[in-house]
Chain A
Amino acid sequence: MRYLPSSPVEDRALLDTIGVPNAEALLVGIPDSARLRRELDLPTQGSEQEVAWQMMGLANRNTRFCAQFLGAGAYDHFVPSAIDAMISRQEWFTAYTPYQPEISQGTLQHIFEYQTLICDLTGLDVTNASLYDGGTACVEAALMAVRVAKKRNTVLVSRGLHPMYREVLKTNFAPHDDLNLVEVGLKDGVTDLADLQAKLSADVAAVMVGYPNFLGNLEDLTALAGPVHAAGALLVSVTQEAFAFGWFEAPGKVGADMACGEAMSLGNKPNYGGPFLGFLAVKDAHKREIPGRVVGQTKDLDGQTGYVLTLTAREQHIRRDKATSNICSNQGLVALRANIFMQLAGPEGLKGLAQQNAAKAQYLRQRLLELPDMAPVDDQPFFNEFMLRYTGDYATLQEACLRESLLPGLDLGRFYPEYAGCILWCATELHTRQMIESLVEILARVPATV
């Protein structure tokens, strides 16, 4: 086995030093009844060449598309070459969580920079070293809001939140009989203000809204913050496409008390949904309730600046069942990708990319609307995703696109019965005009259904 530094002579020497005839003799602590007295019923070891071929075969069994017009929480963006080159350094990708600061300053300083940039994007004060993904970030945000807003037990969730995020929230709230998760409806493709006001009460700890929401529409956080704050609740903005931070104002600057969501767009490929990058940013006043690892700046004995894991009194290894969360491992290397991406992009790059995304999506929408069977649903501002009503049959459209190696937008009826017949389209800087024209051409040929 190529990964085991084993040889008959050395193996013998190890066993002789220990004083046992063979390795099996060291298993005396495992009761006989618990021992597996046969070999595992699995194939035997494979050479690198054999395994590489087998895995390439699996990768090749996936269809490669010329263009994907699908976002819905997983966005295809360009990834600069520097990112893969950097994270391939063993010092980054093989290292453990930085428990020993003197020998982990690289990781610690990176996290400090990453925290700074997530706070910059969201306009808030404090963030952590990452959470698993957008859905679980929503869970952490909701549970944190309940801790912060003492004696309030209800979290209002806009129906405009990513449907999978709402599912993950539901799963995690189910064990808590004392907590309620209540949905707020949509009107004209955004959170229904009247429904929100009707559901706000002294029991509401937080209100969670998409920014922009799952339908691609911009939620006016400032308008929502008024009634939410008047009711004494926290406004939580949930962003599933981090590129939107280059287009829309930082949520912390327009009324959000907490911002969470998904930042996979910063330097990652869709990867079939993971590893992704959950984030949660909060106000300074709430910092001792934030879940997960947090890095702080400090000095060493000689007065040199350095970085350490801090506020650990919140965490599971110290507080056990009183911890703010059970999270231990996070998405460290994905956060590093995001950090490198943001530093390469800089303010101009991020704004420029956002402008290109908006331009491509607007162009795609305009061209699609020229087709007779596409119609607008509402007239909300959007970023790189939007929905259109389609009077044809989605399955037929999908088949036509797939035949031409194009992945079409999402059939919204799958998640929103009220939007049955609507398709959620996405375009990013990766979509050339030519790709958009090809899509429109193919769609123009899809036979209209009666």
Chain B
Amino acid sequence: MFLRQREPLSFERSVPGKRGMDLPKLDVPEARDTRPAHLQRSGFDALPELSEVEVIRHFTRLSKWNYGVDDGIYPLGSCTMKHNPRLNEKVAGLPGFTDSHPMAPDAFVQGNLETIYTLQEWLKEITGLPGVTLQPSAGAAGELTGVMLIRAYHVSKGAKRRVILIPDSGHGTNPATAAMAGYEVVELPSGTDGTISFDDVTDPVNGKVRKGLRTLVSELGSEIAGAMITNPNTIGVFEYRFKEISDLLHSVDALVYMDGANMNALVGVARPGDFGVDVMHLNLHKTMSTPHGGGGPGAGPVCCSAELLPFLPVPVVVRDTVKVGEGEVPRHSYRMAWDRPQSIGKVHTFYGNFGILVRALTYCLSHGSDGLKAATLRAIVNANYIRTRLKGAYALHIDSPTLHEVVFSDTNQAKHDVHTLDIAKRLIDHGYHPPTIYFPMIVPGALMIEPTESESKDELDAFCDTMLQIAKEAEENPDLLHQAPTLAPLRRLDETTAARKPVLKWAKG
């Protein structure tokens, strides 16, 4: 699977005089130099000189040191690594889309506007929320947009609020977002079942009491702007008292933000707008299969209630019905609406990661209402299949059906001095990408597995067999796991030195 030979940095291969790009013949006079001498480009220190064939081989070889969704199960929990349909890529590459300029007049980009409008309609129905913006470029950008909508809501009522509540099981982006939006974060404790605790929780280790939701709402009251809640939460469980949580927060006019990272468990089965959510984001690079690209680009559309609609970022895509004669099918035209006085403003230079939106709409049209629901159910079946096959060998955090993902802990293996990191690295030797590890933080030595709906029974069995074998290896030969990986191109890397003495770019030798 891996290429064993080492691929040097391209800079080390550079040879003066090589060219990887030929320029067209210049058919106008050479540029006159009007630049002041000190602002003329002097030169480059690192740009390599390579032929096209060398560049292609370099990036092909490097690619073989990666693991992709087509290599097999990619069980990263909370990341929803599902199959990336090739049709989506093909469609997003159509010149009609890729050549279109973001400042072109609306009349000349009707296809783009209809794409945006149609995807918005799908997301409205899927979430049960009437407002949508597709501008945010990623989940975290969606969170920030959503929290700014909450802020605008309170400001419009002449009130400024100070606090955002976030469960201790939440993604790190939630508190970071609240801080970027100018809020103070107060943590909500999880109860023993992993869901948000209404009551105060006493830490079994240090005896410290952490205030539960009820206490916090009664003490902080109108200082609370809202809560950011991941649902299903990061242990794959639906916050079964969501409506109660929402009612309690609404009683002090605080709003409920839902982190939709785990929406793959709910599409077609439950709608956030129906269970008390005011505003949320979706990760199209998770739920709607747009590729992760080694870190992005994604898209983090925000859906909101009617009350928050006036505050949505500008511009908003609007559909007008073109008047037609009697008996004719009405035609539509689309435009960007900019004049929205209560809007929070712009959150992206243009209209978001449009190419990703094209892929997401293609995914929606391919699946349809029936396919979307079937995908949700299959993702849940797959997670529970893994739960059933691995429980016993690995300690379950909660022994009840989960939704789209399942969280184990390393307590069984820890008896043999084998820990989550060792299990993860041993999976690499067996040819798999490891699951998400050490998250959520409320589970000691967490192994968070999300198979998605894309895995067949064969793939699931092969993965489970490997996990069971690793559990056996942990008992019989723990050192095998401590040394892992030994079959990857590199062994474990020294992250401490990397951070202490950072080398962040290549420098000429």
Contacts and interface: CB of A to CB of B under 8 A. Distances in A.
B83 A3 contact: yes
A17 B102 contact: no
Contacts of A82: 20, 52, 55-56
A310 B111 contact: no
Contact of A407 (B20, B104, B182, B350): B104
9 contacts: A45-B367, A52-B90, A84-B93, A94-B74, A94-B291, A101-B490, A110-B59, A275-B297, A340-B59
Contacts of A198: none
Given A52-B90, A136-B348, A346 B19 contact: yes
A10 B457 contact: yes
Contacts of B465: none
Nearest to A2: B366
B253 interface: no
Contacts of A55: 91, 94, 358, 361-362, 365
Contacts of B490: 101-102, 105, 300, 304, 306
A110 B371 CA distance: 37
- Specify which of A55, A85, A311, A318 lies most central, judged by the most chain B CB atoms within 10 Å of its CB: A55
Nearest to B17: A348
Given A46-B368, A104-B67, A320-B185, A327 B349 contact: no
A153 B131 CA distance: 34
Interface string A33-56: 111100111111110100110111
B24 A429 contact: yes
Interface string A59-82: 111111100101011101000101
A279 interface: no
A109 B65 contact: yes
Interface in A265-311: 269-276, 287, 293-302, 304, 306-308, 310-311
B319 interface: no
B27 interface: yes
Contacts of B27: 432-434
Given A106-B66, A109-B9, A343 B55 contact: yes
Contact of A329 (B65, B140, B436, B454): B140
A105 B434 CA distance: 15
B295 A129 contact: yes
Contact of A164 (B125, B298, B350): B350
B126 interface: yes
Q: How large is the interface on A (under 10, 10 to 19, 20 to 34, 35 or more residues)?
A: 35 or more
A72 B103 contact: yes
Nearest to A337: B293
Given A89-B63, A168-B349, A171-B345, A302 B491 contact: yes
A343 B497 contact: no
A358 interface: yes
A159 interface: no
Contact of A330 (B274, B296, B400): B296
Identify the 5 closest CB pairs spanning chains A and B, nearest first. A273-B350, A333-B293, A59-B96, A332-B295, A273-B102
Interface in A13-27: 13-15, 17-20, 23-24, 26-27
A134 B102 CA distance: 14
A130 B138 CA distance: 13
Contact of A52 (B81, B91, B285, B358): B91
A438 interface: no
A358 B269 contact: no
Interface stretch (A187-195, A359-367, A439-447): A359-367
B370 A44 contact: yes
Given A94-B68, A334-B297, A343-B10, A321 B185 contact: yes
A30 B383 CA distance: 16
A109 B40 contact: no
A262 interface: yes
Contacts, number: 700
A322 B182 CA distance: 12
Given A36-B270, A58-B111, A354-B41, A407 B101 contact: yes
A88 interface: yes
Contacts of A29: 232, 237-238, 240, 400-403
Contacts of A116: 9, 11, 46, 505-506
B304 to A, nearest CB: 16
A201 interface: no
Contacts of A17: 385, 388-389
A18 B171 CA distance: 29
Interface string B427-467: 01000011010010000000000000111110110000000
Contact of B294 (A44, A97, A299): A97
Contact of A402 (B105, B177, B294, B387): B105
A241 to B, nearest CB: 13
B21 A13 contact: no
A340 B93 CA distance: 18
Interface stretch (A202-210, A228-236, A246-254, A368-376): A246-254
A24 B295 CA distance: 34
B372 interface: yes
Contacts of A349: 19-21, 23
A351 B35 CA distance: 14
A112 B425 CA distance: 23
A103 B428 contact: yes
Contacts of B41: 245-250, 351, 354
Contacts of A276: 349-350
Given A34-B274, A311-B502, A97 B292 contact: yes
B365 A26 contact: no
B66 A105 contact: yes
